[in-house]
Structure 1
Amino acid sequence: MGDSTISPKDFGASFQTFMQQMSRESAAEEPFFRRRLREHFGTDPSKFSIVGDKFSEANHPNVHLAMESYLSDRGRSYELLGISSDRAGFMGIELGHLVSGTGAMTPGGGTDEGPVAYTNVALDGDRVLACTQLGLYLISEGDARLAILVARTERGYNDEIKVQVLAPQREAADACLAALRMAMRKRNVYRGHVVSLSVNRSNTLEVRFHHLPRISREQIILPSGVLERIERESVSFSKHAHVLHAAGRHLKRGMLLHGAPGTGKTLTAMYLAGRMPDRTVLLITGRSMGLLEHACAMARVLQPATIVLEDVDLIAEERTRQGGGGGCAPLLFELLNQMDGLADDADILFVLTTNRPDLLEPALAARPGRIDQAVEVPLPDSDCRRRLFELYSRGLRVSAAIEPYVDRTAGASASFIRELLRKAALFAADDRGELEVQAKHFDEALHEMVVEGGDLMKSLLGASVAATPANPRV
């Protein structure tokens, strides 16, 4: 058998011949998308302008709805082409690749017609929107022609939506993108809803919808005048925003609700959100405190908007935890800077809640005007405790006199009283099989919460002093 070994020199020459032959055949057959674009525009589009923009993955439904709105204008028609390419995903498709037809001979560079790729995006409730993930729109309007590429880039981190516009004149491409941005604002899926921001494992911003429980005014039990002051700065202000703005009053405002744990600060904030249904509400808690810049950017687009920052003292404590002494935490400075960066006529309300106003006061005092109203949400006085017992007794038969327990829960929070009624109902159910709450059931509940639960239980339920149960076991 002869020696079939080929020398490196001969292999190189053969491979060069092979590539030249492939290039000649490739040139003879015009790439699919280059041909379709040439036919669409009636000329070679390789010298046309391409203008693009990138949007966060959270804006994918807004991009899709904006495209629908743009394409539905009278006199406008389009054809949507699917793209099959190994570039899709991590590397991403570029409109320039489709125009030039380049990359077909490079690893992973070939593109061809394929099915239009869609991805389902969850909206509020059970609604799902099928959004174009990868597609090329060939658009006609009279004699005018445009091409728009919509492509979702999936790197595994910071995924984004890319929109690129090809047009004979740069001005036409710019005008198209401007129209899309305007439609995104107008048809934004988050407008008027309650949403929260978070970052997933891919370091990609996620926006989640929330449905707040319906909270009536009578459920907000505060001393006389407190709720009225809170409503004046929020609900009434929003109602008269146009008149106030016309008179030159600034619309951007901040309100701080402070007080002991369990007094109802969060409940009050949720009540305010329900009283202003025309406003978009952004909830910022815990780890999402690092997304203040994103939240404020969304609020600018979605105004009138309310940003609720719960337990804002946690970001003020960050410096202490990191050993920074008495300085103010970077996140707190970021919050103040974001508030500074908003125009006075931006109709954005900040509602901050805190158990530790002392941690915030130095920074707020150094930047006056960021908080327009600070309202203490105090521990309930005897009248408020009586009303709380009445509120949380609904649905129960209470045969015990309430007044002694109103006195014994002095210093207890609203959360403590709510839990007391729940435990008393549970003791009643165990005792008699029905929800008739007697004095002994209140006593047993108090004993379990105050004595057996100890200081930790009282702390968790926001009881600043010991509620004393008149119980022989104590």
Structure 2
Amino acid sequence: MGKKKSTAKKAKPVLWQKLADHFDTDPGELPVIERMFRQYERPNLHQAVVDLAADDSELCGIVMRHEYMNPSLSKFAREGSSRDFDLGPVAHVDEELPGDRRLACVKRGLKLFLHRGKPIALLLDEERYSATPGLRLEVMAADREAAEDFLRRVETETRAGKAFRGGVLSLEGNCRGGFELQFHKLPSITRDEVILPDAVLQRIERHTVDFSTHAERLKAAGRHLKRGVLFHGPPGTGKTFSAMYLASRMPERTVFLLTGGDLGMIQQAVAMARVLQPATLILEDVDLIGTRREDQVVGANAVLFELLNQMDGLAHDADLLFILTTNRPDVLEPALASRPGRIDQAIEIPPPDADCRRRLIELYGKGLKLELQHLDDLILRIEGVSAAFIRELLRKAAVHSALESEGEIVVADRHLAAALTELMVDGGALTMSLLGAAK
């Protein structure tokens, strides 16, 4: 006798059944639209989906029968191919955000919800077998228009960059031709810590902080918001410190830091800054990309011209502030002069005058007990040195005092004299140069 055929109905694949129940129809007949996002966009993409999907949405984890399989809504929509996948735990990635924050973002998952009263299925996964891995978002809806509408809204919300807004970022190129975001926490710098002549500090603030405070009024009056300022002066005088002070004074602005090799990422940084404006771009030692033609490394001028092109291509209402620092304004002047209007203000950060040298000694002497009888003589003797030199002078004097006695560190004239000899005599011209104090 032949075997009896089983009359038991084969169970439907669980993911196919999920889609069929959600749309109340055969999911194999429904359209699917796909969009790729960059990996660094994951926190903003996650936040966009959370904000747009209904609170009563269902989130399902996906497990593949074989690891090399790529899940897709098209595969889930057919009974045969859907059997290679099953429900499982939702995979998350713990992403870093500005300000020491973190966000657990969905790495792979199927989300079912209603959007404007219409059923939507959304699948998020990573491209694992690609030279340029990214994030793949698929949207299924009852009709193509509904799927397109939801995908456009996700794109808009993702580009708004809610997760990054107001943070301090830098861009770092990777081996795949893309880049990764790094997040930073800048020190909180008060105005009293910026030791500059009053006229110089007021000029800096007027072009940056004051401008940002009244940006909306200036825009309404037809004034363009994009602006560039160049800090120039000898090494160690406080150009970068002044830029960091401005960033801390304007916490509502997203800050991009570019220095060294990162200056080659200027196009990508400006593109992100446009989205995250109001934004400030701080480009340190910009002379490294603007050396004279006979001295430059390959591509240096190309990077400088790209910077100028990016500044030129901005709309007048783009609220972007470019702060450039350089020790060598002479190598930049020809290029900047040939493209007038990109830099609106050049501000020299000079070596500290006698009053500033006195204030710097007080600033860097905080935490120490200063017992100085010949402070005026010291201030005259260190004429022409940088703020960096004075900071190191106080540090070495503190070490001399600590070696001499226990307990509270008391810095006297002899400790400063010993430290000064160590820096200016024993250290030689190279030490002076390294501290921005070469004469």
Question: Could you say whether these structures have the same fold, taking a TM-score greater than 0.5 normalized by the shorter chain as the test?
Answer: yes
Letter matched to residue 375 of structure 1: I
- Cα distance in 2 for partners of 1:238, 1:308 equals 16
Query: Which structure 1 residue ranges, 5 or more long, are not aligned?
Result: 1-27, 466-474
The aligned residue for residue 300 of structure 1 is: 274
Alignment of 1:75-474 (within 5 A): 77-85=56-64, 92-100=70-78, 110-141=84-115, 144-155=118-129, 158-185=132-159, 188-200=162-174, 205-317=179-291, 329-400=301-372, 401-433=374-406, 434-465=408-439
- Cα distance in 2 for partners of 1:334, 1:102 equals 53
CA offset digits 1:6-39 (Å, max 9, x no partner): xxxxxxxxxxxxxxxxxxxxxx876543443233
Equivalent of residue 21 in structure 2, options 35, 39, 42: 39
- Cα distance in 2 for partners of 1:366, 1:187 equals 35
- Cα distance in 2 for partners of 1:340, 1:48 equals 46
The aligned residue for residue 55 of structure 1 is: 37
CA offset digits 1:30-60 (Å, max 9, x no partner): 6543443233222233343322322221111
- Cα distance in 2 for partners of 1:57, 1:124 equals 16
Change (3 A) 1:199 1:157: farther
The aligned residue for residue 6 of structure 2 is: none
Pairwise CA distance, 1:140: 2.6
CA offset digits 1:313-362 (Å, max 9, x no partner): 112249656656xx962111121122122211111111111111112112
Change (3 A) 1:101 1:281: farther
Equivalent of residue 51 in structure 2, options 39, 62, 69: 69
- Cα distance in 2 for partners of 1:87, 1:254 equals 55
- Cα distance in 1 for partners of 2:175, 2:193 equals 38
Farther off after superposition, 138-147 or 361-370? 138-147
Contact between 1:81 and 1:137, CA under 8 Å: does it hold in 2? yes
CA offset digits 1:82-134 (Å, max 9, x no partner): 2222786x8743333333467679xxxx4333322111112345533211111
Contact between 1:156 and 1:202, CA under 8 Å: does it hold in 2? no
- Cα distance in 2 for partners of 1:29, 1:351 equals 65
Letter matched to residue 179 of structure 2: L
The alignment of Structure 1 onto Structure 2 pairs a total of residues equal to 429
Farther off after superposition, 135-144 or 212-221? 135-144
- Cα distance in 2 for partners of 1:102, 1:318 equals 66
The aligned residue for residue 5 of structure 2 is: none
Change (3 A) 1:161 1:226: same
- Cα distance in 1 for partners of 2:125, 2:322 equals 35
Contact between 2:161 and 2:276, CA under 8 Å: does it hold in 1? no
- Cα distance in 1 for partners of 2:74, 2:245 equals 52
Q: CA RMSD in A?
A: 2.6
- Cα distance in 1 for partners of 2:278, 2:396 equals 42
Query: Which structure 2 residue ranges, 5 or more long, are not aligned?
Result: 1-9
Secondary structure class of the residue paired with 1:455: helix
Secondary structure class of the residue paired with 1:225: helix
Secondary structure class of the residue paired with 2:347: strand
Pairwise CA distance, 1:210: 1.8
Pairwise CA distance, 1:308: 0.8
CA offset digits 1:383-406 (Å, max 9, x no partner): 221221222222222222211111
Secondary structure class of the residue paired with 1:221: coil
Letter matched to residue 402 of structure 1: L
Contact between 1:389 and 1:402, CA under 8 Å: does it hold in 2? no
Contact between 1:56 and 1:205, CA under 8 Å: does it hold in 2? no
Contact between 2:231 and 2:326, CA under 8 Å: does it hold in 1? yes
- Cα distance in 1 for partners of 2:123, 2:35 equals 11
Change (3 A) 1:418 1:142: closer
Contact between 1:279 and 1:303, CA under 8 Å: does it hold in 2? yes
- Cα distance in 2 for partners of 1:169, 1:372 equals 52
- Cα distance in 1 for partners of 2:65, 2:179 equals 26
Change (3 A) 1:31 1:340: farther
The aligned residue for residue 24 of structure 1 is: none
Change (3 A) 1:427 1:86: farther
Letter matched to residue 57 of structure 2: Y
Pairwise CA distance, 1:274: 0.8
- Cα distance in 2 for partners of 1:330, 1:213 equals 33
Identity of aligned residues (%): 49
